[in-house]
Amino acid sequence: MSASRRLVELGHKRVVDSARRESFTGRVAVITGGSSGIGLATAEALARRGVTVIIIARGVGDVKCAVQRIRDHNGTAYGYPCDVTDHYAVSGVAKAVIKEHGPVDFLINCAGRSIRRAVVSSTDRLHDYERTMAVNYFGAVDMILAFLPSMRERGRGHVVNISSIAVQTKQPLFSAYVASKSALDAFSVVAAAENADAGVSFTSIRMPLVRTPMIAPTSDFATLPVETPEQAAARVVRALAERPDRIDTPIGTLAEYLGYVAPTIHRAILHQVYRAFPESDVARLTVPRRPATTDSAPGNTLAKKVFTPLLALPTPGVRFTRWVPGLHW
């Protein structure tokens, strides 16, 4: 067989495999934090593709509204109110979902919590870190552990964890958030290695800033050219179809590499970001430890103008990066 013919057949095989992976009809997807933001947009996107979506969120009314919204557009959706920080509630919901809807094909962990507070302002607030870890890390892990046995039993399943670009950029003022998402990323790498022969795969999506209720209280972020929940949902759909280990962004990859090759420069840049962006209004009122002149200094104003666009830089449609080892934008 000629080399050209082998390349043609290989290309055809990839197209066929991709088409198979993208056939979502009849699949069941559990989405935490599915009543708003990225979770709701993802639920709607999957429902349009024939997926039965199971929405999990804390608010009973929010869950009902989200389910009805999908059903109004002829989608199949069911809702289960659940606080992901409650182990017994998670266990009960997982058993109910499997009993009532059969095996789960996709688990998408969208539920999240963020706190914008400097470390120096958190010396007496360990509970901030505990609460953030409870949702972003332990809540997601609890969900994974609840559905993993049934996925392994049938030899098929995919978990998507909504991580953050901040894991790569190490965004100042978000130490609790960055640490919790970094922990989930590390867990996913280990879990993926251990379950590779069982047909269960994992994807971490290091999301850029997305216009969701979670960033609404942060006025500085509200004016940035951030992505829409629908754009974020498209990344999730792509993760389910292609199943890469992770999906990054160019600015996230650049920041991560800079931390490896030039850590001193990286730290200096992060310090300027820290000085340019103030803490949340609540943090400044409760612990006014940073100088009042910091945010208005000319150097910091310039830094904010320079770094603000970079922090929200969207991923370009560069398809060739699929062939570059280590890159999946």
Question: Cβ distance 69 to 94 under 8 Å?
Answer: no
Question: Residue 2: helix, strand or coil by DSSP?
Answer: coil
Q: What is the DSSP string of 39-64?
A: HHHHHHHHHHTT-EEEEEES-HHHHH
Count Cα atoms within 13 angstroms, Cβ side, for 47: 25
Active site residue 88: no
Question: Residue 14: helix, strand or coil by DSSP?
Answer: helix
Q: Provide CB contacts within 8 A for 275, sequence distance 6+.
A: 294, 297, 299, 300, 303
Residues linked to residue 235 through DSSP beta bridges, in sequence order: none
Which position among 78, 177, 257, 274 bears the catalytic label? 177
**Residue carrying the six token digits 């002149």:** 293
Question: Cβ distance 147 to 99 under 8 Å?
Answer: no
CA separation, residue 116 to residues 113, 142, 220, 292, 315 (Å)? 10, 25, 12, 18, 24
Q: What is the DSSP string of 83-115?
A: -TT-HHHHHHHHHHHHHHH-S-SEEEE------
Question: Residue 155: helix, strand or coil by DSSP?
Answer: coil
Residues designated catalytic: 177
